[in-house]
């Protein structure tokens, strides 16, 4: 389309469209003379009437008015607040349809961004029960008509939608948060008001150990003082005996960041414990721990399979976090070196290695793109390099070091197929061949898709 031409549609116009695709945040994509319009809740192959609500130079936004022809994968969203809440994007698409959409997303970016037309991409590994999988619930607390409300923000706002249940959170966390909200309201605890920077309780967080059944409760407050905290804790523990840790985090700043600097244990331990496979993890209030342990095991089993370890290999785990992948690899490798920029995560990695009696894993704090080149200079030669970077993908310096180190295999665990495709292209140009890619659905009902790729040196 010639971008110098005026858009072919106008604001407030009603138009008939056919949706071709989904955006990365789950909106339907239709085109008018090659000009794209994005419409929430539209699905591929649907014919619809839409109202144009915003027009920009290169694209527009619309609202679904009427469906003439529905997708065979369309379903009624089971959540009563689905259309207001921004947490899920795909509840109106059946789970089979979601998996097809995610596989297509991975295929499209591999071809468009990576130029990888012949790489085998397997069907998505999904969940048997794609609901109630999130083991961490973190909800803002608000005031309404003298009581407290707890829920997620309405899409694009800071208006809290009061909800009794979130269909993708584990039931134990939902029940605990509702009870905590009621107990705090009964004892006169005031919700934080972000406009006036007054009140006490900002957020409540619950973490659940899927295997152990242990629960951690975190109060995030503006003030050091939590009124009636002894009585509140007694009532919570009486109703929820599997709450093994109650923690208070103080955040007195005017900010959208949830956690403050100061954290103190009010009851029980600083940690709860959980397992992924046979590896035990200590989880603190601030630990990074995968929110879907069931699918994390599927993801890591695939990464371990792709690493093809025999017990003689030295392995580098870039972006190792709290050591989750490192400890899986260490069971089959001669030696694992992990690097992570967050000091607290490395402390957790050391603790988790000790917890599992794993002595062949070494961890260092720092940027992967600086630490790994330094290891290379020291003569550490990796047979296998595993990367699990943030959404922005790998740093250029790290990719250059991987190419220079010439490992036998690279296993790339990705939470963003677009940056995965970009980085695979760099590694392919540097002497590696992508053998296969396995998408894994870690976040059903959302557009997020993880993938594991394995590359071999040419």
pLDDT tens column, 113-134:
999 999 999 999 999 999 999 9
What is the domain-level CATH number for residue 61?
Answer: 2.40.50.140
Whether residues 261 and 312 fall in one domain: no
173 and 263 co-located in one domain: yes
**Last residue of one domain, picked from the residues 276, 306, 326:** 276
Q: What residues are labeled active site?
A: 415
**What's the CATH number where 152 sits?**
2.40.50.1070
Do 34 and 162 belong to one domain?
no
Structure confidence at residue 323 (pLDDT): 94
Identify whether 3 is part of a domain.
Answer: no
Same domain, 419 and 299: yes
**175 and 236 inside one domain:** yes
Q: Are 315 and 382 in contact (CB under 8 A)?
A: yes
My answer on whether 300 and 437 are in the same domain is yes
- Residue 324 is assigned to a structural domain of this protein: yes
Please list the residues that pair with 160 across neighbouring strands: 153
Residues 353, 391, single domain; the answer is yes
pLDDT digit string, tens, across residues 435-458: 999 999 999 999 999 999 999 999
* C-beta separation of 116 from 421 below 8 A: yes
**pLDDT recorded at residue 53:** 97
Beta partners for residue 36, in sequence order = 31
Q: Are residues 108 and 183 in the same domain?
A: no
Residue 238 belongs to a domain: yes
For residues 297 and 263, state if they share a domain: no
Nearest to 130 by CA among 376, 444, 427: 444
Clarify whether residues 313 and 266 are in a common domain.
no
Q: How far apart are CA 377 and CA 366, in angstroms?
A: 16
The mean pLDDT of the chain is: 94
Domain that holds residue 162: 136-276
pLDDT digits (tens, 9 = 90+) for 71-113: 999 999 999 999 888 789 999 999 999 999 999 999 999 999 9
Structural domains of the chain, count: 3
**Does residue 414 lie in a domain region?**
yes
User: By percentage, how much of the chain surpasses pLDDT 90?
Assistant: 89
Distances (CA, A) of 396 to 289, 340, 401, 413, 458: 27, 17, 9, 17, 20
- Please tell me the predicted confidence (pLDDT) of residue 4: 65
Q: Is the pLDDT of residue 1 over 90?
A: no
What's the CATH code of the domain at 424? 3.40.50.150
* Stretch 187-213: mean pLDDT: 94
Kindly state whether residue 312 falls inside one of the protein's structural domains. yes
Does residue 307 sit in the same domain as residue 441? yes
Query: Is there a single domain that holds both residue 218 and residue 333?
Result: no
């Amino acid at each position: 389309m010639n971008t110098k031409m005026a858009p072919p549609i106008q604001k407030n116009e009603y138009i008939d469209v056919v949706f071709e695709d989904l955006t990365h945040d789950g909106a339907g994509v239709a085109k008018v003379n090659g000009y794209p319009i994005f419409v929430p809740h539209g699905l591929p192959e649907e014919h619809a009437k839409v109202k144009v609500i915003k027009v920009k130079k290169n694209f527009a936004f619309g609202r679904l008015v009427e469906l003439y022809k529905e997708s065979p994968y369309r379903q009624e969203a089971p959540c009563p607040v689905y259309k207001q809440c921004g947490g899920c994007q795909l509840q109106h698409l059946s789970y089979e349809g979601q998996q097809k959409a995610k596989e297509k997303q991975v295929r499209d970016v591999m071809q468009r961004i990576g130029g990888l037309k012949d790489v085998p991409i397997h069907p998505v590994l999904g969940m048997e029960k794609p609901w109630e999988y999130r083991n961490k619930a973190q909800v803002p607390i608000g005031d309404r008509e003298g009581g407290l409300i707890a829920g997620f923000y309405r899409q694009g706002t800071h208006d809290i939608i009061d909800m009794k249940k979130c269909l993708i959170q584990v039931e134990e966390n939902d029940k605990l948060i509702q009870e905590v909200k009621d107990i705090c309201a009964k004892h006169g605890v005031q919700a934080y008001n972000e406009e006036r920077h007054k009140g006490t309780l900002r957020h409540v967080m619950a973490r659940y150990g899927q295997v152990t059944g242990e629960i951690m409760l975190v109060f995030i407050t503006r003030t050091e003082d939590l009124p009636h905290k002894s009585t509140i804790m007694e009532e919570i523990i009486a109703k929820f005996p599997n709450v093994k840790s109650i923690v208070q985090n103080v955040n007195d700043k005017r900010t959208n960041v949830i956690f403050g600097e100061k954290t103190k244990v009010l009851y029980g331990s600083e940690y709860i414990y959980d397992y992924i496979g046979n590896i035990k993890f200590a989880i603190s209030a601030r630990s990074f721990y995968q929110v879907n342990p069931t699918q994390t095991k599927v993801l890591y089993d695939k990464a371990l399979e792709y690493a093809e370890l025999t017990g003689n290999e030295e392995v580098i785990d870039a972006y190792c976090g709290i050591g989750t992948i490192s400890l899986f690899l260490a069971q089959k490798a001669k030696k694992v070196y992990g690097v992570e920029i967050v000091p607290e995560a490395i402390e957790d990695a050391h603790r988790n290695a000790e917890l599992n009696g794993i002595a062949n894993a070494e961890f260092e704090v720092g940027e992967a793109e600086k630490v790994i080149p330094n290891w290379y200079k020291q003569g550490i030669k990796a047979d296998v390099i595993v990367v699990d970077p943030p959404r922005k993908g790998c740093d250029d310096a790290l990719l250059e070091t991987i190419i220079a180190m010439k490992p036998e295999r690279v296993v790339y665990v990705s939470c963003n197929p677009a940056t995965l495709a970009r980085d695979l292209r760099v590694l392919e140009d540097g002497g590696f061949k992508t053998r296969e890619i396995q998408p894994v659905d870690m976040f059903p009902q959302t557009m997020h898709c993880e993938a594991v790729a394995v590359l071999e040196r040419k």
